[in-house]
């Protein structure tokens, strides 16, 4: 199939936390190789590797020091080649993170070719996503450089032809090695408004998100690089609506295949402040997802996700990580998997891994979390209040090591893990995956259904019970197939008219008996029928 990625299920690996093979407490490439059988058993098609390039790890690899070298903690280029070969042998594919909005300040270019970066005599008021000004003064040069993220992540100047060509050459190098595509880090921030205007209250996003030349750059990247390979591309595009999303992903745009939208990830936070909780209803969440489903009905293609290395664990966020952990983890997966788009699973999601709460701030490792904590403390806020925010939203929630076994260090490492393991590993781990009721087994079933039912690719998407505060129900339909999905996002038992069709899958061992459809707490049920022709 030409657009093979429409049929695929992607699994994201955060290498630092996946599997350590040499006892240094940090996950590595050989560790991933050891676990390829596990991924094959799960049934996924594509692995997305978060950055494995050489890096001083100010932002865990999202600060690249050398694009053609492997981070020493993760192994060597030979390990990488072995990994790629083994992935391909299993009939799977591998995509890499492409981090080209910025490099590390330790990249050679920053000292030897500083003109590849963005310099100004005077800073404007833009703030970095990791706190503080987005501009850092450089003594030697007597100017400020822009860093939308940490000050060790200077932004590249995409206005320069030389920068773009250097990046394209680097991309070709990896593609010629045989990788199968890229997940593109904050790709919609490459083009900055060259007037560098101040933004309201320091928010410069209007001047660099989906900036003036972004589509020009992506078309050029496509012409020069992407279109010459049979690959998949997924752009990370914060603060982007469906209209702009279509410009990125419509085939006639010749830019990207898919993007990661953030709208549904923003539903529980105040606009522009991830730390500030916001009460929301299922109606709102559903509206957002529907908006994206409808916008991409004819053209373009969605990515479907609840989790990644930047987001809290979905079962803790949208489900119930205590009483109904298993049910709600499976329900969330059901809700996602039958929508139109390519599903992404983040490591541990298939086990229902949960958020973490460390008592002391010193246990946390993420630069964004640490900066937030210290900035807020300086402003006089209490430790307890800030920790509550970190428990809800901190990125380390997703970064605790993968829970392989109930044995020492969850089977992640024989050494001291770089970040503490969630103590619930004794009960939440891969050992129970062969149990027919396990979350893992449920994901296996969902993944295999995705391969069997053409309606999942071609079918239109329609919501029903649109105003229901607890149950998310939708249908997918072609001329010959009809699928109805019911997901209870609450602990209440609910009853509806029985839909036509056979139960395709459900997250309780048996559907409740009775004439009407009964949904128990967090129950998900999918009905399927073929139309008589």
Q: Backbone dihedral region of 196: left (phi > 0), alpha (psi from -120 to 50 degrees) or beta?
A: left
**Site for ligand NOJ, residues 133 to 162, rule: CB under 6 A:** 149
User: Is 232 or 335 the residue whose CB approaches ligand NOJ more closely?
Assistant: 232
User: Is 184 or 315 the residue whose CB approaches ligand NOJ more closely?
Assistant: 184
Residue 522: CB atoms within 10 A of its CB come to 24
Nearest CA to 56 out of 157, 153, 158 is that of: 153
User: Tokens for 498?
Assistant: 């029985």
H/E element holding 70?
strand 66-70
Kindly state the smallest distance separating residue 65's Cβ from ligand NOJ, in Å.
Answer: 14
Q: Is 473 in the site for ligand NOJ (CB under 6 A)?
A: no
3-class secondary-structure state, position 49: strand
Kindly state the smallest distance separating residue 431's Cβ from ligand NOJ, in Å.
Answer: 30
Site map 180..199 versus ligand NOJ, x via CB under 6 A: -----xx-------------
Q: Which residues are catalytic?
A: 185, 236
**Site for ligand NOJ, residues 74 to 103, rule: CB under 6 A:** 99
Kindly state the smallest distance separating residue 415's Cβ from ligand NOJ, in Å.
Answer: 24
Nearest CA to 196 out of 233, 248, 143, 153 is that of: 143
- Single residue of 62, 135, 344, 472 touching ligand NOJ by CB under 6 A: 62
User: Is 156 or 484 the residue whose CB approaches ligand NOJ more closely?
Assistant: 156
- Single residue of 20, 58, 59, 396 touching ligand NOJ by CB under 6 A: 59
DSSP secondary structure letter of residue 117: B
Kindly state the smallest distance separating residue 244's Cβ from ligand NOJ, in Å.
Answer: 18
User: Is 167 or 504 the residue whose CB approaches ligand NOJ more closely?
Assistant: 167
CA 64 to chain CA centroid, nearest Å:
19
Kindly state the smallest distance separating residue 183's Cβ from ligand NOJ, in Å.
Answer: 9
**For residue 521, what are the CA distances in angstroms to 280, 437, 512?**
19, 16, 12
Kindly state the smallest distance separating residue 486's Cβ from ligand NOJ, in Å.
Answer: 33
User: Tokens for 263?
Assistant: 């709208």
Angle at 95 between CA 21 and CA 158, to 5 degrees: 120
Kindly state the smallest distance separating residue 279's Cβ from ligand NOJ, in Å.
Answer: 26
Yes or no: say if 31 and 347 are a contact pair by the CB < 8 Å rule. Answer: no
Number of residues that bind ligand NOJ (CB under 6 A): 9
Residue whose beta carbon is closest to ligand NOJ: 62
Residue 112: CB atoms within 10 A of its CB come to 8
The string of DSSP letters for 479-530 reads SSEEEEEEEE-SSS-EEEPPPSSEEEEESSSSPPPSSSEEE-TT-EEEEEEE
User: Tokens for 292?
Assistant: 């994206």
User: Is 35 or 309 the residue whose CB approaches ligand NOJ more closely?
Assistant: 309
Q: Is 53 in the site for ligand NOJ (CB under 6 A)?
A: no
Radius of gyration of the chain (CA): 23
User: Is 186 or 402 the residue whose CB approaches ligand NOJ more closely?
Assistant: 186
User: Is 147 or 476 the residue whose CB approaches ligand NOJ more closely?
Assistant: 147
**For residue 103, what are the CA distances in angstroms to 124, 149, 152?**
21, 10, 8
- Single residue of 310, 321, 396, 523 touching ligand NOJ by CB under 6 A: 310
**Site for ligand NOJ, residues 98 to 137, rule: CB under 6 A:** 99
> Is residue 483 classed exposed, middle or buried when 0-12, 13-18 and 19+ CB atoms within 10 A define those classes?
buried
Kindly state the smallest distance separating residue 396's Cβ from ligand NOJ, in Å.
Answer: 12
User: Is 62 or 196 the residue whose CB approaches ligand NOJ more closely?
Assistant: 62
Residues engaged in binding ligand NOJ (CB under 6 A): 59, 62, 99, 149, 185-186, 236, 309-310
């Amino acid at each position: 199939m030409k657009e093979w990625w429409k049929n695929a299920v992607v699994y994201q690996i955060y290498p630092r936390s996946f599997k350590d093979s040499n006892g240094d407490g940090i996950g590595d490439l050989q560790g991933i190789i050891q676990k390829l059988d596990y991924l094959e058993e799960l049934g996924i098609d594509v692995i997305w590797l978060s950055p494995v390039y050489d890096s001083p790890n100010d932002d865990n690899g999202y600060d690249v020091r050398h694009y053609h070298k492997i981070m020493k903690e993760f192994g060597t280029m030979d390990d990488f080649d072995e990994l790629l070969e083994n992935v391909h042998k299993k009939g799977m594919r591998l995509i890499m993170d492409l981090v080209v909005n910025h490099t590390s300040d330790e990249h050679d270019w920053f000292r030897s070719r500083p003109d590849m970066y963005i310099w100004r005599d005077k800073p404007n008021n833009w703030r970095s996503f990791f706190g503080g000004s987005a501009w850092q003064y450089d003594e030697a040069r007597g100017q400020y450089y822009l860093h939308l993220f940490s000050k060790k992540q200077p932004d590249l100047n995409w206005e320069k032809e030389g920068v773009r060509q250097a990046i394209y050459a680097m991309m070709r190098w990896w593609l010629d090695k045989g990788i199968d595509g890229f997940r593109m880090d904050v790709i919609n921030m490459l083009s900055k408004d060259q007037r560098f205007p101040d933004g309201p209250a320091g928010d410069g996003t209007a001047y660099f998100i989906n900036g003036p030349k972004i589509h020009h750059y992506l078309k050029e990247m496509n012409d020069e690089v992407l279109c010459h390979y049979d690959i998949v591309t997924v752009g990370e595009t914060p603060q982007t609506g469906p209209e702009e999303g279509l410009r990125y992903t419509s085939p006639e745009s010749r830019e990207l295949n898919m993007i990661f939208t953030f709208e549904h990830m923003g539903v529980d936070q105040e606009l522009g402040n991830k730390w500030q909780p916001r009460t929301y209803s299922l109606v709102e969440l559903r509206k957002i997802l529907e908006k994206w489903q409808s916008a991409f009905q004819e053209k373009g293609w969605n990515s479907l996700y609840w989790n990644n290395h930047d987001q809290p664990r979905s079962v803790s966020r949208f489900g119930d990580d205590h009483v109904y952990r298993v049910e709600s983890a499976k329900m969330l997966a059901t809700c996602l998997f039958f929508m139109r788009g390519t599903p992404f699973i983040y490591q541990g999601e298939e086990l229902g891994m949960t958020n973490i709460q460390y008592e002391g701030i010193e246990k946390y490792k993420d630069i964004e979390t640490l900066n937030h904590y210290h900035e807020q403390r300086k402003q006089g806020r209490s430790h307890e209040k800030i920790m509550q925010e970190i428990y809800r939203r901190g990125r380390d929630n997703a970064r605790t090591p993968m829970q392989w076994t109930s044995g020492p260090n969850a089977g992640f490492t024989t050494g001291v893990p770089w970040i503490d393991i969630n103590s619930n590993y004794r009960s939440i781990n891969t050992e129970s995956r062969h149990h027919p009721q396990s979350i893992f087994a449920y994901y296996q079933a969902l993944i295999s259904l995705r391969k069997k039912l053409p309606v999942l690719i071609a079918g239109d998407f329609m919501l029903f019970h649109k105003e229901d505060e607890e149950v998310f129900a939708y249908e997918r339909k072609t001329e010959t197939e009809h699928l109805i999905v019911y997901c209870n996002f609450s602990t209440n038992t609910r009853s509806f008219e029985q839909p036509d069709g056979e139960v395709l899958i459900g997250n309780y061992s048996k559907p409740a008996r009775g004439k009407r459809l009964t949904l128990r707490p967090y129950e998900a049920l999918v009905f399927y029928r073929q139309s008589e022709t």
